[in-house]
Amino acid sequence: MSQVIPNKGPASRRRHIDVDELIAKAGAKKPRYRKVSFDDVRKDAEVLALIQGADKHLEAIGFTDHGIRHIARVSTRAMHICKELGLPEHDMNLAGISGYLHDIGNSVHRVRHAQSSALLAYPILSRMKMDPIDIAAVMAAIGNHDEGEGEPVNNASAALILADKSDVLRQRVRSATPMLTRDIHDRVNYAATDSQMDVDKEGHMITLRLTIDTRVSPVMEYFEIFLGRMAMCRRAAYFLNCDFVLVINGTRLL
């Protein structure tokens, strides 16, 4: 797969140089790469160990589930978004891979975990002989998934953002008494009994439908901690040429 790199200089004289052309001019032999699939990554022992280790670290400091269940939901939803929008299968595969690797940086530290995850992904995907152009796309998607500083930069990135930020669900809560906890994240996640994402390609609309038990947590608490994430979902949807809609308990709120 080739990459187009814009030259710097006056726009009237600017031209594009293909990576294959650069390699040929350098007299180098183009390495052979292989198509790394989502299943290749999903079944990799090193990846699974990092996911498990990262989740244990977050459990120790009181965070909700970031283990294999969260990872599987995010990857599946990211690929579903790409498929429903009719994006290339290649993008769908990269979205799935990005989803599976997006939280492994929590094995290092929670702070700036998106960037740590991206950097940890590089040697893993290089070992699998993935094309560096694809590795760069995956790293960009992973490195931009956090709402604090990330932005959608490619199709896989936008799908990952939507999938990750929409994963609010009762099953993510670890506390044995979530209704009594003072942690708002536990209460809001425990209150969310259902989370569905509808993708309307023809209508250019992506809709997140949540069912929230207001006896556990009022809807206002959801916005208190998730407003920034919903704003990021809107930007990700726009990147995919769609509007983003949030429906809670049957009422459209965004």
Report yes or no: 150 and 140 within 8 Å, Cβ to Cβ.
Answer: no
Q: How far is CA 173 from the centre of its chain?
A: 20
Q: What is the dihedral of CA 222, 228, 233, 239, to 10 degrees?
A: 170
Highest mean pLDDT among 3-12, 21-30, 152-161: 152-161
Question: Which pLDDT score is estimated for 99?
Answer: 98
- pLDDT of 2 > 90? The answer is no
The CA radius of gyration of the chain, in Å to the nearest whole number, is: 20
Task: For the chain, give the secondary structure using H, E and C.
Answer: CCCEEECCCCHHHCCEEEHHHHHHHCCCCCCCCCCCCHHHHHCCHHHHHHHHHHHHHHHHCCCCCCCHHHHHHHHHHHHHHHHHCCCCHHHHHHHHHHHHHCCHHHHCCCCCHHHHHHHHHHHHHHHCCCCHHHHHHHHHHHHCCCCCCCCCCCHHHHHHHHHHHCCCCHHHCCCCCCCCCCCHHHHHHHHEEEEEEEEECCCCEEEEEEEECCCCCCHHHHHHHHHHHHHHHHHHHHHCCCEEEEEECCEECC
Question: Which pLDDT score is estimated for 4?
Answer: 37
Looking at every residue in the chain, the average pLDDT score rounds to: 90
Report yes or no: 158 and 240 within 8 Å, Cβ to Cβ.
Answer: yes
**Comparison of pLDDT for 23 and 53, the residue scoring more:** 53
Question: Which pLDDT score is estimated for 181?
Answer: 63
Q: Which of 3-17, 155-169, 226-240 has the lowest mean pLDDT?
A: 3-17
What is the percentage of the chain residues whose pLDDT exceeds 70?
90
Q: What's the whole-number mean pLDDT along residues 19-46?
A: 85
This model's pTM is above 0.85: yes
Q: What's the whole-number mean pLDDT along residues 238-251?
A: 98
Question: Which pLDDT score is estimated for 149?
Answer: 87
Instruction: List domains and CATH numbers for the chain.
Output: 1-30 (no CATH), 38-252 (1.10.3210.10)
Q: What is the pLDDT of residues 167-225, one digit of tens each?
A: 999 999 987 765 556 688 889 999 999 999 999 999 999 999 999 999 999 999 999 99
- Rounded to an integer, what distance in angstroms lies between the CA atom of residue 43 and that of residue 74? 16
- pLDDT of 3 > 70? The answer is no
Measuring CA to CA, how many Å separate 3 from each of 11, 15, 117, 131, 134? 20, 13, 24, 11, 10
- Rounded to an integer, what distance in angstroms lies between the CA atom of residue 206 and that of residue 32? 38
Q: What is the pLDDT of residues 48-69, one digit of tens each?
A: 999 999 999 999 998 999 999 9
Question: Which pLDDT score is estimated for 18?
Answer: 72
